[in-house]
């Protein structure tokens, strides 16, 4: 991929492209709007008489700082290939891909604008009754299907080799696993939290646990992860759930995706009045139930591992996934509170004292999940610990 063949799309050239591809008739009158709110991609929403599509183009730099922060365009290719695989294993929960161009870093996909970003809905009091069931199925199916168990080690190694994603992993390694535990420039926290944050920087035991979990993230290649599965990466309605934006996809530890989804639900619970928390707790129990159920079903249905029927193996594996996920969950709660990338659930709490209190809970509950991850064995126990920490 050379920069010379890359050209930024405009609303005009995006329209020309979808017509050239036959997605719309040449004569059709189309509306086209750039709706990207991130700073890494252009997102064009193209609407015709009977259908609509999304044209997403990765930018070779971070838009917010001009052209000064170069980023690999390969992430568009990673995202496109991850979407196609996720679409194969979890078609109901993955946007359809109509076209992709590696050189131009373009993916044309299903328009999901009839749905809402789940984080926004959850903040506004939506409960999305099926979101946990669907996300649990998505995670179990995409992870199991790309693991040694489903693919066999040879095929899996070859697939793993096509998802080396060093630059985007570097972002996670820094922002999730490292910077929040040191006085790093990327950190961003309210002055009212300074003493809590300094306690974290001095908490050697917590840092040792973070280092252990980071090592797992750096070295453990269980399955093709989404890699950034928070509630902002999910489009939802009362009936539908679609997981988007897998540009962080790579082969990592089984527990990572479900941990991030669960952690973001816990942070949403922190933003709700007590009377409105039960549906979120129920989602946390459900996503784990469904993940375990689906993973177990797939394990029994199709498994290339000779030890698959060795007594205790699946039980041990699910317990291992739960333990590492509990740790990853805690790290996500900490970094979303004091690191570079925050969540609106917490930042959006208007009253300062309430907001600081919620953030302190996020930090202390997160730290407990990290340190005591070996002591928990069910999602209900996590919810209990969360309530104790309030």
Of residues 56-115, which lie at the interface with its own copies (CB under 8 A)? none
**Contact call for residue 164 and its own copies (CB under 8 A):** yes
x-or-dash pattern for its own copies, window 141-160, by CB under 8 A?
-------x----xx--xx-x
- Site size toward its own copies (CB under 8 A) is 39
Question: Among residues 41, 80, 100, 178, which is the contact residue for its own copies, using CB under 8 A?
Answer: 178
- Provide the edge-to-edge strand list for the sheet that holds 116-117: 116-117, 234-236, 241-243
Residue number, 110 or 222, with CB nearest to its own copies: 222
CB atoms inside a 10 Å sphere around CB 61? 15
CB of 79 to its own copies, least distance (A): 18
Is 292 within any annotated ligand binding site? Answer: no
CB of 164 to its own copies, least distance (A): 4
CB of 373 to its own copies, least distance (A): 15
Question: Among residues 26, 27, 195, 219, which is the contact residue for its own copies, using CB under 8 A?
Answer: 219
The tokens of 287 are what?
């996503």
CB of 209 to its own copies, least distance (A): 10
Of residues 271-330, which lie at the interface with its own copies (CB under 8 A)? 305-307, 310-313, 316-317
Question: Among residues 97, 169, 356, 385, which is the contact residue for its own copies, using CB under 8 A?
Answer: 169
Residue number, 35 or 218, with CB nearest to its own copies: 218
Q: How many Cα atoms are found within 13 Å in the side-chain-facing hemisphere of 214?
A: 18
**Contact call for residue 210 and its own copies (CB under 8 A):** yes
Residue number, 36 or 221, with CB nearest to its own copies: 221
Is 228 within any annotated ligand binding site? Answer: yes
Q: How many Cα atoms are found within 13 Å in the side-chain-facing hemisphere of 200?
A: 31
The tokens of 66 are what?
């001009």
DSSP 77-138: HHHHHHHHHHHHH-GGGSPPEEEEETTTTEEEEE--TTSEEHHHHHHTT---TTHHHHHHHH
Cβ contact 246:136 at 8 Å: no
Is 41 within any annotated ligand binding site? Answer: yes
CA distance 289 to 295: 10
Residue number, 178 or 292, with CB nearest to its own copies: 178
User: Please, which contacts does 277-286 make with residues 24 or more away whose CB atoms are closer than 8 Å?
Assistant: 279/127, 280/122, 280/127, 281/383, 281/386, 282/132, 283/128, 283/131, 283/132, 284/132, 284/379, 284/382, 284/383, 285/379, 285/380, 285/383, 286/132, 286/133, 286/136
Which residues are documented as binding site for ATP?
41, 56, 110-112, 245-247
Residues near its own copies (CB under 8 A) are 148, 153-154, 157-158, 160-161, 164-167, 169-170, 173, 178, 181-182, 204, 207-208, 210-212, 214-215, 218-222, 305-307, 310-313, 316-317
């Amino acid at each position: 991929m050379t920069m010379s063949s890359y050209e930024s799309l405009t609303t005009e050239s995006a329209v020309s492209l979808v017509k050239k591809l036959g997605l719309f008739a040449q004569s059709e009158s189309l509306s086209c709007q750039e709706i990207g709110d991130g700073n890494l991609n252009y997102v064009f929403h193209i609407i015709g008489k009977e259908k609509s599509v999304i044209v997403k183009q990765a930018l070779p730099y971070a838009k917010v700082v001009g052209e000064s922060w170069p980023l690999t365009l390969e992430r568009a290719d990673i995202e496109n290939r991850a979407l196609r695989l996720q679409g194969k294993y979890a078609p109901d929960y993955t946007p359809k891909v109509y076209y992709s161009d590696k050189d131009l870093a373009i993916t044309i996909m299903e328009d999901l604008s009839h749905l809402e970003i789940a984080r926004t809905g959850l903040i506004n009091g939506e409960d999305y009754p099926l979101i946990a069931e669907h996300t649990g199925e998505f995670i179990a199916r995409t992870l199991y299907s790309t693991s040694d168990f489903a693919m066999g080690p040879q095929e899996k190694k070859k697939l793993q080799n096509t998802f080396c994603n060093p630059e985007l992993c570097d972002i996670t390694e820094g922002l999730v696993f490292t910077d929040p535990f040191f006085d790093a420039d990327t950190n961003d926290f309210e002055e009212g939290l300074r003493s809590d944050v300094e306690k974290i920087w001095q908490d050697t035991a917590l840092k040792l646990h973070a280092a252990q979990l980071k090592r797992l993230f750096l070295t453990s290649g269980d399955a093709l992860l989404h890699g950034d599965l928070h509630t902002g990466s999910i489009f939802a309605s009362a009936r539908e759930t679609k997981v988007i934006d897998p540009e962080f996809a790579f082969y990592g530890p089984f527990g990572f995706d479900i941990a991030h989804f669960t952690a973001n639900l816990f942070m949403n619970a922190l933003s709700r009045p007590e009377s409105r928390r039960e549906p979120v707790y129920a989602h946390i129990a459900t996503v784990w139930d469904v993940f375990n159920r689906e993973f177990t079903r797939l394990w029994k249905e199709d498994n290339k591992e000779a030890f698959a029927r060795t007594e205790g193996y699946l039980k041990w594996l699910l317990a291992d996934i739960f333990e590492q996920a509990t740790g990853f969950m805690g790290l996500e709660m900490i970094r979303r509170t004091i690191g570079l990338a925050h969540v609106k659930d917490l930042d959006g709490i208007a009253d300062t004292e309430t907001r600081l209190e919620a953030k302190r809970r996020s930090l202390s509950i997160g730290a407990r999940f990290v340190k005591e991850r070996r002591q928990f064995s069910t999602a209900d126990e996590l919810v209990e610990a969360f309530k104790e920490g309030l």
